[in-house]
Amino acid sequence: MFFKLAVLFILVPLVELAILIYLGTIIGVLETIIIVVVTGLLGAFLARRQGLIALYNIRSSLQNGILPADQMLHGALIFTGGLVFITPGLLTDIAGIGLLIPAARRMIIRWLKKMLERKIQQGNVQYYRIR
């Protein structure tokens, strides 16, 4: 697990940096900076809007006595999408947009549920103890 995280935190910023440098040589430094700033602002707007909708849905479910499992998953993915937008870069912005679009989130949630069901059926559910 540590190795995967280390690769993720080293490889993704390097790839993002390479893309931004390449894009800067093609369209210019100022234009590249504008793209990063605009996508960051767009991401913040979308994360706030979708987060408020998810929070409303969670409250509504709780008021009706329903366990808001799906809404909580949506909220977690929206939060993750917002965090991804904090990282400057085009790949992370694309991933963040994907996590903030409701249709994409529904597909991700279906995939997550199938993966978890498969792990439960196989008896492969593991947790990692934090020391």
Q: Could you tell me if 39 and 93 are in contact, meaning their C-beta atoms sit under 8 angstroms apart? A: yes
- Alpha-carbon distance of 7 to 96, in angstroms, equals 19
Which amino acid does the sequence have at 32? T
- Alpha-carbon distance of 58 to 66, in angstroms, equals 9
Supply φ then ψ for residue 42, to 5 degrees.
-60, -45
pTM: 0.72
Pick the closest to residue 80 from 92, 90, 89, 68 (CA basis): 92
For the record, the structure tokens of 62 come out as 């709780």
- CA 16, 17, 23, 28 dihedral sign is positive
Instruction: Output the CA torsion 51→57→61→67 (10° steps).
Output: -40
pLDDT tens digits for the chain (131 residues)? 678 888 888 888 889 889 999 999 999 999 998 988 888 888 888 888 888 888 888 888 777 877 778 888 888 888 888 888 777 788 888 888 888 888 999 999 899 888 878 877 777 766 666 65
